[in-house]
Chain A
Amino acid sequence: MKKKQIPSVKVGTFGRRLRLPACGRQARNDRTGNVTMAEEFHLSISQELAEGIGRHGAETFPHECCGALLGKDSEQNGSPREVLGLFPLVNRRDDSPRNRFAVTAEDVRDAERVAREKGVEVVGWYHSHPDHPARPSEFDREHAWPWYSYIIVSVMSGKPAEMTSWRLNDDRLAYLPEKIEINRRTTV
């Protein structure tokens, strides 16, 4: 498959700020109706990168955007997982890009290679929900692995809105919310 090249996300200021919901430890309903108590997952990201994700979603609106989150997983030290860079990718779902996105295995390998070169790792993925809430769908859940952070940005009428992050739980039955913390760190 011929690779499409897209430029890196440019950083800019949105007409309105991204809204980050509070989503620490709280009860969630999984698809079976059972209530799951979420662990406290925290994802640290700079304002610049958070806005970069929203800008990517605005650029591809009304289609979904997607990309890799490059960073470091320092949770074992008690620190939040940190996003230090983005690797924007082309949505390979040409047949239904308004409500689906796909990143091929080759794109995943590219993202992992770039991460290694920068001394970081792929800690998750982001995508947009055009004119739709930033909540994971059943389709999202079926195609996810635990451990990864999955950022979703809602893009309403072409403007970035709410941003959330999620992790799949061990039994694959539900997503758990991950609290997004904005930092002032530099990026890779």
Chain B
Amino acid sequence: MAVKVIIPTPLRVYAAKKDSAEVSAQTVGEALSGLTTQHAELRKHLFTDDGKLRSFVNVYLNDEDIRYMAKEATPVKDGDVVSIVPSIAGGRNLD
């Protein structure tokens, strides 16, 4: 399936300044894998060292959060759009 992955602005510098990538995938996970195959520098900003999506990285299939679907196993179809959206978190050191 041909899927479009939207690359968030902060990460475009690691993707030849492109705002999206076309990948072939059966699932959202495969789409993300295809994206990081095309642009390897993106990997560390999306995934932890053990290959899991970072906790603050959220993925949408069209307009649906994949956490409420089948997560990375969510199937995709031709023309779907995958978006990567961070949640922002932080705070001071604990005393």
Interface of A is mostly: mixed
Is A147 touching B11 in the complex (CB atoms < 8 A)?
yes
Chain A, residue nearest B58 (CB): A105
- Among B45, B85, B88, the one with the most A-chain Cβ atoms within 10 Å of its Cβ is B88
Chain B positions within 8 Å of A129 at CB level: 91-92
Determine if B90 is an interface residue (Cβ-Cβ < 8 Å).
Answer: yes
Residues in B with CB closer than 8 Å to A100 are 89-91
B10 touches A108 (CB 8 A): no
Q: Judge whether B87 and A102 touch: CB under 8 Å.
A: yes
Scan residues 1-58 of chain B and give those whose CB is less than 8 A from a CB of chain A. Answer: 8-11, 13, 44-45, 55-56, 58
Q: Are B87 and A105 in contact (CB under 8 A)?
A: yes
Chain A positions within 8 Å of B85 at CB level: 105, 108-109
Within 8 A of A (CB), among B54-91: 55-56, 58, 60, 65, 85-91
Determine if B87 and A101 form an interchain contact, defined as CB atoms under 8 angstroms apart: no
> For the complex, would chain B's binding face be called helix, strand, loop or mixed by DSSP majority?
mixed
| Most chain B Cβ neighbours within 10 Å, of A66, A101, A109, A147 | A147
Known: A138-B93, A143-B90, A146-B45. A105 touches B65 (CB 8 A): yes
Q: Shortest beta-carbon distance, A129 to chain B, in Å? A: 4
- CB neighbours (8 Å) of A82 from chain B are none
Shortest CB-to-CB span from B32 to chain A, Å, is 16
A162 within 8 A of B: no
**Interface: A104 (CB within 8 A):** yes
- A127 located at the interface, meaning its Cβ lies under 8 Å from any Cβ of chain B in the complex: yes
17 contacts between A and B (CB under 8 A): A93-B91, A99-B94, A101-B91, A102-B87, A105-B85, A105-B86, A108-B86, A125-B88, A127-B91, A137-B92, A138-B93, A140-B90, A143-B55, A143-B90, A145-B86, A148-B10, A172-B44
17 new A-B contacts, CB < 8 A, other than A132-B92, A137-B92, are A66-B88, A96-B91, A99-B91, A103-B88, A103-B89, A107-B87, A107-B88, A108-B86, A121-B9, A127-B90, A127-B91, A129-B91, A137-B91, A140-B90, A140-B91, A143-B89, A172-B45
Q: Which residues of B contact A (CB under 8 A)?
A: 8-11, 13, 44-45, 55-56, 58, 60, 65, 85-94
Counting from the closest, the 8 A-B pairs by CB-CB distance are A147-B10, A100-B91, A103-B88, A140-B90, A105-B58, A132-B92, A143-B89, A129-B92
